[in-house]
Chains A and B, each alone.
Chain A
Amino acid sequence: MAAQPETIDQVRAVTEQKYKYGFTTDIEAEVAPKGLNEDIVRFISAKKGEPEWLLEWRLKAFRVWQTMEEPQWAAVSFPPIDYQDAHYYAAPKKKEGPKSLDEVDPELLKTYEKLGIPLREQEILAGVEGTEGKTPAIAVDAVFDSVSVATTFKAKLEEMGIIFCSISEAVQKNPELVRKYLGSVVPYTDNFYATLNCAVFTDGSFVYIPKGVRCPMELSTYFRINQANTGQFERTLIIADEGACVSYLEGCTAPKRDENQLHAAVVELVAMDDATIKYSTVQNWYPGNEDGVGGIYNFVTKRGACRGRNSKISWTQVETGSAITWKYPSCILQGDNSVGEFYSVAITNNFQQADTGTKMIHIGKNTRSTIVSKGISAGRAQQTYRGLVKILPKAEGARNHTQCDSLLIGDQCGAHTVPYIESRNRSARIEHEATTAKISEDQLFYCRQRGISEEDAVSLIVNGFCKEVLKELPMEFAVEAQKLVGISLEGSVG
């Protein structure tokens, strides 16, 4: 039976996203003057007391960036961004970086409390159920506008030789590690947004897991944009040395603002022999309102290098926020027998646009990759899965399996699948499956007849649709993500 227009209206009504993180924090901030030029790059570098080599690297990137043009190939559209009309540095005003949580501005602590992010270590201990007597499950690095405000459980991790701190701190304390790996996966010439990030990145997280160490807790970073008219350019670098193992989670929110804000992050992962990195993202930046006003432009470059034999990098992302998402977490499978995985749920509603997917570059022998992408579109949103599977001549026995499913709610949204496959080795096996489905009138009525409200029915069906991906998330966050999936498609906030 054809969908009745009034029912579609109802579905639309329940799918209108209510954003609960849209408050701002009143904090005095130190902000760089608007605009972008070499002086601003020098200003940022000086603010951070960076060594000469890093400033030089930033400047090289800036000069390359000036010759670049914004990529046009993605299926997203937005008015031109005036890169001179933004601040490239904003930090909560403080004489020095906080040494302990007690020194952190109470306003800031309140902000994180509102967001439900535990910064007090004992709160984290108290908040985790079923882990009595075990090591706490989460260590958090919180980044507010451009600056990391707190990293928890640092001391405990240090005992094991694990470094988990802000990247600014790593530049000071572990310059040789940063210098060796920064830009080694995403070079400073990579693409328009990544290159811009190299020039003006302000903070982000740094992780180093030494040989043979399995990180005993989830490492987690929460990003928060607060200041108006600032871009956020974080830089994350994670290195798992031989036989090391780490699971890392990133979450993000921003206040409601009518103007669009740019978020152009770069994440680099390096896995050596037998190392495993699991990187999970729950991205919930402000998506703009029902009419498509405001929201974050999330133009992010994420890439992992499986440098060593038997190494593994697994990306899991739940993308529900942002006005525009442009993001392709990728794996370079260099080491023999290395494994790359990409599990993605992307939800777009109202006027949100997302062009997201992954690249799996098979270089080593017997490299394997798995791609599972679940796209959900509602309202007038447009979504594209864009994926590249590339098998180089030496990748004997390489295998890829791609599963790409789209779910539509209503009839004004769109889903598109653009898989690119390039195979230069005849022994490679590549499989691609794609489906598109719609939440039907029949399904909603069936659920409602059983007593389930329309909103809950949408949430139930969508969660069922993407459970294959949600189960890949660390347990502590799976429930949160499930709720978020519901919330971002419902009219109410749970």
Chain B
Amino acid sequence: MIEIKNLHATVDGKEILKGVDLTIRPGEVHAIMGPNGAGKSTLSYVLAGRDGYEVTEGSVSFYGKDLLAMEPEERAAEGVFLAFQYPVEIPGVGNTTFLKTAINAIRKHRGEKELDAMQFLKLIREKTKALGMSDEMLKRAVNVGFSGGEKKRNETLQMAVLEPRFAVLDETDSGLDIDALKIVAEGVNALRSPERSMLVITHYQRLLDYIVPDHVHVLAAGRIVKSGGKELALELEKNGYRDFGVNEAA
């Protein structure tokens, strides 16, 4: 269970999160919507432990542990995964090498045996196929020269391989074509399980047709201003955010 309580965070001295409260139980999928600049990505970075995002108040408990006290790599090993809104390019480092290093680092942290080359290859082949990705993409450097949609698919692949307990998907749908959206959503749905929870950040109701959330929240100006069931997304699609006293272009 993830319990976010009264979370305040600043970036470069500017307060972006102004008291976020959110509880996500195992197996639940929560969607967060909200205007540009509301602080959605900021929330995801704070949860992942990015440098420069300073928590000034509040707490985050992750299955009973103090998440905010951990280094980013410890959080990953504990099972926190962030699918980035803007995935990062790492020239020279092959996708396969990257993933193998990641999964073995996490396994090592958990006291599990590292996967050997054969075991890993088998795993990654399986996952790649399920996501309709080509083997050729595995050989390329991490995200280098990938199209916007390919990058998002690659994030989903990483999630599928690392099998986190809690995944934050930051606009994983943006940039995907219609077919890719379905494939990625299916990939995400395949990962849904009673032990795994997800926080899906999106601007579009469409994604939520595929990944049906248990709860939908509106984040505006650094606070959750409204929560509801999946029908809230439809309402937002129709009326925008004006009911929450925010200008959509803010």
Chain A residues close to B by CB (< 8 Å): 1, 4, 6-7, 437, 440-443, 445-454, 456, 460-461, 463-467
A450 and B93 contacting across the interface, CB-CB below 8 Å: no
- Ordered by A's residue number, 6 sampled pairs between the chains whose C-beta atoms are within 8 Å are A445-B51, A445-B72, A448-B72, A449-B81, A452-B101, A456-B101
User: Chain A contacts of B84 at CB under 8 A?
Assistant: 446, 449
Residue among B51, B52, B89, B106 making CB contact with A451, cutoff 8 Å: B106
B52 and A443 contacting across the interface, CB-CB below 8 Å: no
User: Chain A contacts of B92 at CB under 8 A?
Assistant: 461, 463-467
Indicate if B246 sits at the interface (CB-CB under 8 A): no
Size category of the B interface is 20 to 34
A446 and B88 contacting across the interface, CB-CB below 8 Å: yes
Q: How far is the CB of A260 from chain B (nearest CB, A)?
A: 34
User: Chain B, 61-76, contact with A by CB distance < 8 Å: what is the 0/1 string?
Assistant: 0000000000111011
User: Chain B, 93-113, contact with A by CB distance < 8 Å: what is the 0/1 string?
Assistant: 110011001110110010000
Residue among A440, A445, A451, A464 making CB contact with B93, cutoff 8 Å: A464
With A441-B51, A445-B50, A445-B51 as contacts: A450 and B94 at CB distance below 8 Å: no
> Closest chain B residue to A462 by CB distance?
B92
A450 and B51 contacting across the interface, CB-CB below 8 Å: no
User: Chain B contacts of A4 at CB under 8 A?
Assistant: 51-52
> Closest chain A residue to B44 by CB distance?
A449
Chain B residues close to A by CB (< 8 Å): 48-52, 71-73, 75-77, 81-82, 84, 87-94, 97-98, 101-103, 105-106, 109, 141, 158, 162
User: Chain B contacts of A461 at CB under 8 A?
Assistant: 90, 92-93
> Closest chain A residue to B142 by CB distance?
A446
Residue among B87, B91, B103 making CB contact with A465, cutoff 8 Å: B91
Q: How far is the CB of B241 from chain A (nearest CB, A)?
A: 26
Residue among B76, B77, B141 making CB contact with A464, cutoff 8 Å: B141
* Complex CA distance for A466 and B92, rounded to whole angstroms: 8
With A437-B91, A446-B87, A451-B106 as contacts: A460 and B98 at CB distance below 8 Å: yes
With A1-B52, A7-B51, A445-B50 as contacts: A451 and B102 at CB distance below 8 Å: yes
User: Chain B contacts of A443 at CB under 8 A?
Assistant: 88-90
User: Chain A contacts of B98 at CB under 8 A?
Assistant: 447, 450, 460
* Complex CA distance for A451 and B93, rounded to whole angstroms: 16
A464 and B102 contacting across the interface, CB-CB below 8 Å: no
A446 and B73 contacting across the interface, CB-CB below 8 Å: no
A448 and B88 contacting across the interface, CB-CB below 8 Å: no
* Shortest beta-carbon contacts, A-B, top 6: A464-B92, A464-B93, A451-B76, A450-B102, A451-B106, A448-B72
Q: How far is the CB of A436 from chain B (nearest CB, A)?
A: 12
User: Chain B contacts of A440 at CB under 8 A?
Assistant: 88
* Complex CA distance for A449 and B168, rounded to whole angstroms: 11
Give 6 A-B pairs besides A437-B91, A449-B82 with Cβ atoms closer than 8 angstroms. Answer: A448-B71, A449-B73, A450-B158, A451-B102, A451-B109, A465-B92
A464 and B94 contacting across the interface, CB-CB below 8 Å: yes
B91 and A442 contacting across the interface, CB-CB below 8 Å: no
Count chain A CB atoms within 10 A of each CB in B93, B106, B141 and give the residue with the most: B93
Q: How far is the CB of A494 from chain B (nearest CB, A)?
A: 14
Count chain A CB atoms within 10 A of each CB in B48, B82, B90, B103 and give the residue with the most: B90
* Complex CA distance for A9 and B121, rounded to whole angstroms: 37
A453 and B105 contacting across the interface, CB-CB below 8 Å: yes
> Closest chain A residue to B158 by CB distance?
A450
With A443-B88, A452-B102, A453-B105 as contacts: A460 and B82 at CB distance below 8 Å: no
